[in-house]
């Protein structure tokens, strides 16, 4: 094994120890090292990094920047071992990712999505997608967390969901409203009637009884949103399943603002419920939604002396 290959293995171990999965990064970096080996290069240079990153003909600027960003992270690690190692500058390729603007769903939007799910091909599919949408809307779970739920993660006695496959490998317990518990119990009865001999331990299953796949769910959601008339609000604001998480967070914060309570003291509770590693990630929602900014402005205006 070459020195760079050994360094890559150590780099992957380090990053994964911090909770990152990095399947894509490992694949790309393996391809990058194979490129260097073909050229007889034993070190990472800016020139080689740029040449490899821009190899795919006709690739989008975003993909090319992704490739150079992956190499840049590895090069930065190498620089901690050898100060002479070259680290590609962040500005080497134009563009970059821009965070999507959350598509905030109203209660009517969610009802419309649920109604369109009635048109899906089979009753098990309809029930699974409606339950998934409902859970995302009322818990703010990441879609990957919801799809990873096993049947045993739902405690009917305590009315909780155990999220065991959260980001960075963390776990958390989500208390559910009694109406949500009732809805999930109803889904389980329908699922068990359709699949008396489970093919999967999953809570939410496909039309064949297997665990739901993200790609298929995403495709279905896009179709439901289109049929429900949920049009894109801009190039960066389109209805996505993940935006149900944003909508939950924003709706919770709006309720807290409007009831006159101390929002700051409650933020750690919302952070824990959403599975954020630190409250700063939750505070992002304060600037992500115009509704929250307007409510904050109104509250400031209600202070003695108004805004200063």
Is residue 304 scored above 80 in pLDDT?
no
pLDDT of residue 293: 56
What pLDDT does residue 294 have?
57
pLDDT in tens, 21-73: 788 899 999 999 999 999 998 889 999 999 999 999 888 888 898 899 999 98
**Which DSSP helix (H) or strand (E) runs through 155?**
strand 154-155
151 touches 199 (CB < 8 A)? no
Q: Known catalytic residues?
A: 142, 167, 242, 245, 276, 285
Considering the entire predicted model, what is its pTM?
0.67
pLDDT in tens, 159-213: 999 998 777 678 999 999 999 999 999 999 999 999 999 999 999 999 999 999 9
- Taking the C-alpha atoms of residue 173 and residue 84, their distance in angstroms, rounded to an integer, is 47
Closest CA to 249 of 270, 221, 280, 278: 270
87: nearest Cα among 50, 52, 45, 53: 45
Rounded Cα distance between 168 and 17, Å, is 9
Cβ atoms of residues 212 and 131 within 8 Å: no
Residues 46, 88: Cα–Cα separation, whole Å: 5
């Amino acid at each position: 094994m070459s020195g760079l290959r050994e360094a890559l293995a150590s780099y992957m171990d380090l990053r994964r120890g911090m909770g990152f999965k990095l399947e894509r990064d490992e694949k790309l970096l393996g391809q990058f090292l194979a490129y260097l080996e073909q050229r007889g290069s034993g070190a990472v240079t800016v020139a080689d990094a740029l040449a490899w990153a821009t190899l795919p003909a006709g690739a989008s600027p975003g993909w090319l920047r992704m490739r150079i960003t992956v190499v840049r992270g590895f090069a930065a690690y190498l620089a901690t071992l050898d100060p002479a190692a070259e680290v590609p500058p962040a500005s080497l390729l134009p563009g970059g990712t821009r965070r999507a603007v959350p598509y905030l769903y109203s209660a009517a939007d969610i009802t419309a999505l649920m109604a369109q799910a009635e048109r899906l091909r089979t009753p098990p599919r309809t029930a699974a997608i409606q339950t998934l949408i409902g859970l995302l809307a009322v818990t703010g779970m990441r879609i990957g967390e919801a799809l990873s739920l096993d049947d045993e993660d739902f405690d009917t006695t305590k009315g909780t969901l155990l999220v065991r496959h959260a980001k960075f490998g963390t776990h958390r317990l989500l208390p559910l409203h009694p109406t949500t518990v009732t809805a999930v119990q109803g889904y389980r009865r329908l699922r068990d009637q359709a699949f008396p001999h489970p093919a999967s331990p999953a809570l939410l299953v496909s039309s064949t009884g297997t665990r739901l796949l993200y790609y298929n769910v995403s495709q279905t959601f896009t179709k439901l949103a289109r049929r429900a008339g949920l049009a894109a609000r801009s190039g960066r604001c389109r209805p996505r399943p993940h935006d149900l998480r944003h909508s939950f967070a924003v709706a919770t914060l709006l309720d807290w603002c409007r009831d006159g309570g101390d929002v700051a003291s409650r933020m750690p509770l919302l952070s824990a419920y959403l599975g954020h590693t630190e409250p700063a990630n939750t505070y992002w929602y304060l600037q992500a939604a115009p509704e929250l900014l307007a409510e904050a402005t109104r509250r400031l205006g209600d202070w003695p002396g108004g805004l200063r």
